[in-house]
Amino acid sequence: MDAAHIHLLLNHVPVLGTFFGLALLAYALLRRQQDVLKAALGVFVVTGLAAGVVYLTGESAEELVEEMAGITEALIEPHEESALVALVLAGVLGLAALVGLLFFRRGVPGWLGSAVLVLALVAGGAMAWTANLGGRINHPEIRPGATVQTLPGEVQAPHDDD
């Protein structure tokens, strides 16, 4: 298994982890449950670490797909630029969560929980956008302007726009 495989294997962890952590954190803040809040912070720490691994293995994945037909630098570059922003945000989120876990063992203050919630929303948005741009690299069906093509002799089912 090489770095490109690791990139593909782990690339969903930061995205899904951020949104899972967000759900846990929101529940914890609403119900004022410290144990759940600490679990959410732990998820953000792991998510930040996973984002680092995914980013560091991205170059190997890029080298691999650049050799494939139809994959251009114009598809890869926006994903790469967005990934750096998402990595920084995931790193800040992970560090804030780690601070909460290390320095507030008896109870995470509400202001820190709220700050982490805002950071998680921003990081989650960046992760989702980065994932979308990454998906466009090997999934032409989600690229802007994509059209459905049929094979000769194949009939396309009618599409209801109502």
pLDDT digits (tens, 9 = 90+) for 132-155: 998 888 766 656 776 666 556 665
CB atoms under 10 Å from CB of 70, counted, come to: 9
pLDDT digits (tens, 9 = 90+) for 95-140: 999 999 999 888 888 899 999 999 999 999 999 999 999 888 876 6
pLDDT at 71: 79
Looking up tokens 């962890």 gives 13
CB atoms under 10 Å from CB of 16, counted, come to: 14
Q: What is the C-alpha to C-alpha distance for residues 8 and 160, in angstroms, rounded to an integer?
A: 35
- Mean pLDDT across the chain: 87
Which are the contacts of 125, defined by CB distance < 8 A and separation ≥ 6?
Answer: none
Determine contact, residues 116/25, Cβ cutoff 8 Å. Answer: yes
Determine contact, residues 131/82, Cβ cutoff 8 Å. Answer: no
Q: What is the pTM of this model?
A: 0.82
Structure tokens at 107: 């109870």
Which are the contacts of 59, defined by CB distance < 8 A and separation ≥ 6?
Answer: 3
Determine contact, residues 90/43, Cβ cutoff 8 Å. Answer: no
pLDDT at 59: 86
